[in-house]
Structure 1
Amino acid sequence: MNLQSTSETRSDWTTVREATFDFLRSVGVDTFFGNPGSTELPMLDRWPSDIRYVLALQEASVVGMADGYARATGKAAFVNLHSAAGLGHSLGNVFTAYKNRAPMVIIAGQQSRDLLLNQPFLGATDAPSFPKPYVKYSIEPARPEDVPAAIAQAYRIAMQRPWGPTFVSVPVDDWAARCRRVRDREISIDTAPDPSLIEKAAAMLLGAKAPVLVVGPEVDEEDAGRALVGLAERMNIPVLAAPFAARVVFPEDHPLFAGFLPAAPEKVSEALEKYDAVGVIGAPVFTYHVSGQSRLVESDISLFHLTTDHLTAASAPLGLSILGSLKFSIPALAALLPETINPAGSMKSPPKSPKVVKEITPAYFFYCLGKLWAPGMVMIEESPSTRPIMQDFVRIREWGGFYTMSSGGLGYGLPGAVGLGLARPEQKIVCVIGDGSFMYSPQALWTAIQHNVNLTVLVLNNGGYGAMRSFSRTLQVQDVPGIDVQGLDFLHLAKSMGCPAQRVRTSAELEDALRKNLESTGPRLLEVVVDPEVHILY
């Protein structure tokens, strides 16, 4: 048996805390997001100067910032939360991170091991179960010396496709225990598709007279955008954005871009029935928000599905699902196709100028924003009732240029924008957010000020929850309580946290105010009082 020398054996041992920080550095971690508590103090003791600690004032904001940072960088974000209640505060945005496919390692404190049998103050009962099922991996290590290896495993699982959050609960007394260092190792995160199934997908396209692509956020996530554009141009067929795509899926000024699919079964069927072959790339088949009957399931349409997500592959109601990284599957498919299968012209007509009245309509707001939109700007949006209008007037042309939440849960947009700004300090981040959405995580603005994030927040104030107004009309329900939100002063809220703020009420003052706020640097807030007209979502 081969034995190490005594000196080698000793050098391989350290404390749980030091072994953890050694591992973090080995995978390039330079930023940590957190809201600390007493059960995390031994980890935070003498915090290293080479890792930036980003404080947020509430745990949902912590996770939202980490989510935005992870999606912008393509690297797992690390999060520090407090035991039990702290994790509980964050769970809405943990769910969003899971749906957003944001790689993340959440480390939460736990009471001392010697107290856990007696239901101590701040003790988390069955801590690993608390964030399930919306984490890919969850553990409270059985032994203190296993903590660094568990964190390393959580990181590797978070970075496996599909990306997502993981969770490690660490008792407060574990950080000083002795343990072995985590050995450096590599693990692949991308897998290739089955070549024989790619051949079947190619055959569907080759045999089609009217093919179409429906594309989702995995393309941008995997940096496969150029390959996708090459595939579409090689085939010369239209590209539709999948319902609720939470990232840019195709340059929206490209002549092959045909618009956005709504999240309703009948509407999706209506849009796709004129095609005889559908390639769904990097999206579920399909995401719906309202009930209804899909005629596609009963049709003889050919459909194939490229994805890294085994759950969306398993749940697809029709078609051939092919698992594998898009960076491999898209080029492999393109290589089997001749150029120009089907001629196609410009698919999406430019928007018409909206009617201008004294009050600011959402259409006029987005028309002005679209006019002023410049290369390098990045939008994060959380105003779901106006999203179809935004898509009409603001054309996102650049990969990595648009983000929203995939979960439908509010409270992600503002902290997500701060995380994006921390990841991309050289770019202007624009957060378009409703008044109701803003109030879920307003304290994220404080963090933006502390780090001087280059962020413009555009608050669309329609005096309530616009999406609820829309669905009330769609579902034909009346006199619903809890929709109107009056009396909020966003200027004073922003200024109380040190953020410059301005309010506009009329169309005449809008464009100039927008221009000044978009051209400024650092955090700023512009409240836009808009006409509370009802918008039909689907």
Structure 2
Amino acid sequence: MPVKTIESGTVADAYIDLLADRGVDFLFANAGTDFAPLIEALAKFEGQGRKMPRPVIVPHENVAIHMALGHYLQSGKPQLVMVHVNVGTANAMCGLMNAWRGNLPVLFTSGRTPYSEEGGVLGARTGEIHWPQEMRDQGAMVREIVKWDYEIPNATVLEQSVDRALALTMSEPKGPVYLTLPREVLAGPVENFTYTSPSRRLPSTPPFPDLNAIDRAAELIAKAENPVIVSASVGRDWDEPAKLAALADVFAIPVTQRKPRYVALDSEHPMHLGYEPDALLADADLVIVIECDVPWIPNKKAPGKETRIVHLGVDPMFTSYPMRAFATDIAITGAAGPSMAALTAALETRVAGARDRIDARRKRIAERRATQRERWAAALEKAKHETPINPLWVTYCLDQVRGEDDIIIKESPIAYEQLTLKKPGTMFFTGAAGALGWGLGMALGMKAAAPEKRVICTVGDGAYMFGNPIPAHYVSQAEKWPILTMVFNNAMWGAVKRNTHEVYPSGYAAKSNREPLTYFDYEMSFEKAVEVAGGHGEKVSDPAKVPQALERALKVIDVEKRQSLLNIICKGP
């Protein structure tokens, strides 16, 4: 096999060379005292014109890790994040949680506090902080939410460590891995360091479904009167929507998504029945759950006791969840794409025997879909002149000006039903663990991966503050990655208010109409924040002015190549 050799240098040199060879494009980093050998290596590579991951300064770790995740969702390649020992790791924990629950790969790394006190080795302790920062087991901080963690001890296992990290993060179910790199190890010398290129340690192939189980599921579908597909994460891989469309169409199975994370099905497809599974569960005699961790809320609306349930996904039992006990008649382990294709093929052999049932169902779905769309249009008509501005109206206005390839990040109350979602990879709701503040970083990472595309980041006011906006705006300006940020400013934690009312519908909080710990009592001028990084900011409080404000903001991005932010004073729940 072909090999490459570094005749002399440091472990840090070998590490950077190896990462570049393995196709890592970016190093999103917030540096500390542990970075010294790495910074020296990057400066050497830059001075010598050698290929290396592009280093990007990100002034907060939460932004950095979400940038790496966003880049993956556009490029399909995991990226490198490096943070400062335990404190940097702690700041990135929310991003790790979102990556873990969302099955998103990232090579997450940190330095490790130098362990040598007396000197005599390059990289030993040189500052007071090197004593109080050391932990007995730094990896324990993240062990529950990563697929693998390891501390690189020396150059001997460097190639194996990097390759194992990249292979594991990209093997299904995908997820983050954590490497720690002691300063003394990175600073250590290497002579005639050789490694295989390309790597011979590749990710495992995605799981293929048991065809006997597929056949049993097809038989249930063929006999069902009212089957329904419920999904959340179909569409992470961009070939999946076409396969879901074929599956839904062959047997006229309506598709509904619960808090969809991606574009799973063209919203104009005749089997697309919106984003409220509960409305279909009451009549369903078969529910096909595809890559969805929470297909229904049991104490709100669940399928009938006689309804058959099929779960399908790379881990259909969601084994990393401490408790998840949804009814399961068949659980099929397999990647969504090939599993849906296999199920479609099995159903095609059964079409002739169910033609009348399929045709009748197709007609019912068309009628139900038409009624649903009429209801959506009526809600929009009611909302368009409301003040404070209704998010339905903002969503509609956004949909009118966005291009088909524009990317929308949804960490806000924008309404799915007012968006025309056709192309895979153009809508993302990826805070899978509920760790707010992911939107800005994701948007910047996607812009880095696809600079030719417009990226529109929609966030609530709380999510905007969680997202470390000043660091994010800095990165946008410094790296020339202009995005549009739309802040839906309702001066409250909407989810907190809703859930308090659900638990105590007639309680003191509901009667007060001003629930404690829910409202922001001071109106924030978020439009000013982007100006510190040279961006365009604008406050919008009149619903009639939303279209023009959007046009101005997008013009700044397209023509002036500067980031824009709209602070939209909007209605809460």
Count of residues in Structure 1 that have an aligned counterpart in Structure 2 = 514
Structure 2: give runs of 5+ residues left out of the alignment.
118-123
Change (3 A) 1:245 1:359: closer
Query: Who is 1:32 aligned against?
Result: 27
Change (3 A) 1:272 1:487: closer
Whether the 8 Å contact between 2:170 and 2:203 is mirrored in structure 1 is: no
Give, in angstroms, the shift of residue 137 of structure 1: 0.7
Superposition pairs for residues 384-463 of structure 1, below 5 Å? Answer: 386-387=413-414, 390-404=415-429, 405-440=431-466, 441-442=468-469, 443-463=471-491
Query: Who is 2:108 aligned against?
Result: 106
Aligned to 2:259, the other structure's residue is in SS state coil
Query: Who is 1:265 aligned against?
Result: none
The 2-side partners of 1:489 and 1:81 are apart by 31
The 1-side partners of 2:387 and 2:549 are apart by 16
Aligned to 2:24, the other structure's residue is in SS state coil
Whether the 8 Å contact between 1:159 and 1:189 is mirrored in structure 2 is: no
The 2-side partners of 1:473 and 1:32 are apart by 44
Change (3 A) 1:58 1:66: same
Change (3 A) 1:58 1:205: same
Aligned to 1:322, the other structure's residue is in SS state strand
Q: 1:336 aligns with which of 322, 343, 346?
A: 346
Query: Who is 1:232 aligned against?
Result: 248
Whether the 8 Å contact between 2:73 and 2:425 is mirrored in structure 1 is: no
The 2-side partners of 1:287 and 1:358 are apart by 33
Change (3 A) 1:358 1:104: closer
Query: Who is 1:474 aligned against?
Result: 502
Residues 1:286 and 2:325 are matched in the alignment: no
Query: Who is 2:533 aligned against?
Result: 497
The 1-side partners of 2:339 and 2:476 are apart by 39
The 1-side partners of 2:547 and 2:305 are apart by 48
Q: 1:374 aligns with which of 403, 409, 418?
A: 403
Give, in angstroms, the shift of residue 9 of structure 1: 12
Aligned to 2:456, the other structure's residue is in SS state strand
Aligned to 1:199, the other structure's residue is in SS state helix
Whether the 8 Å contact between 2:28 and 2:55 is mirrored in structure 1 is: yes
Which stretch of structure 1 is more off in the superposition, 347-356 or 329-338? 347-356
Whether the 8 Å contact between 2:241 and 2:263 is mirrored in structure 1 is: no
The 1-side partners of 2:293 and 2:102 are apart by 13
Residues 1:204 and 2:220 are matched in the alignment: yes
Query: Who is 1:307 aligned against?
Result: 313
Give, in angstroms, the shift of residue 364 of structure 1: 2.0
Tell me the TM-score normalized by structure 1: 0.88
Q: 2:331 aligns with which of 321, 325, 332?
A: 321
Give, in angstroms, the shift of residue 158 of structure 1: 0.5
Query: Who is 1:484 aligned against?
Result: 519
Whether the 8 Å contact between 1:354 and 1:363 is mirrored in structure 2 is: no
The 1-side partners of 2:296 and 2:57 are apart by 35
Residues 1:194 and 2:216 are matched in the alignment: no
Give, in angstroms, the shift of residue 106 of structure 1: 0.9
Whether the 8 Å contact between 1:68 and 1:419 is mirrored in structure 2 is: yes
Aligned to 2:147, the other structure's residue is in SS state coil
Whether the 8 Å contact between 2:231 and 2:295 is mirrored in structure 1 is: no
Give, in angstroms, the shift of residue 99 of structure 1: 1.8
Change (3 A) 1:462 1:285: closer
Residues 1:253 and 2:268 are matched in the alignment: yes
Give, in angstroms, the shift of residue 531 of structure 1: 3.9
Residues 1:146 and 2:157 are matched in the alignment: yes
Aligned to 1:422, the other structure's residue is in SS state helix
Aligned to 1:342, the other structure's residue is in SS state helix
Whether the 8 Å contact between 2:171 and 2:205 is mirrored in structure 1 is: yes
The 2-side partners of 1:472 and 1:153 are apart by 45
Change (3 A) 1:473 1:295: closer
The 2-side partners of 1:487 and 1:24 are apart by 46
Give, in angstroms, the shift of residue 240 of structure 1: 0.8
Give, in angstroms, the shift of residue 313 of structure 1: 6.3
Encode CA deviations 1:362-418: one digit per residue, 9 max, x unaligned: 2222222233232111100112xx24xx12312322111111121222111111111
Tell me the TM-score normalized by structure 2: 0.83
Instruction: Tell me the amino acid that sits aligned with residue 78 of structure 2.
Output: A
The 2-side partners of 1:87 and 1:55 are apart by 16
- Sequence identity (%): 23
Structure 1: give runs of 5+ residues left out of the alignment.
263-267
Encode CA deviations 1:116-146: one digit per residue, 9 max, x unaligned: 9998243233011111211111112344533
Whether the 8 Å contact between 2:100 and 2:146 is mirrored in structure 1 is: yes
Superposition pairs for residues 254-269 of structure 1, below 5 Å? Answer: 254-261=269-276, 268=278
Aligned to 1:375, the other structure's residue is in SS state coil
Instruction: Tell me the amino acid that sits aligned with residue 268 of structure 2.
Output: D
Query: Who is 2:120 aligned against?
Result: none
Query: Who is 1:168 aligned against?
Result: 179
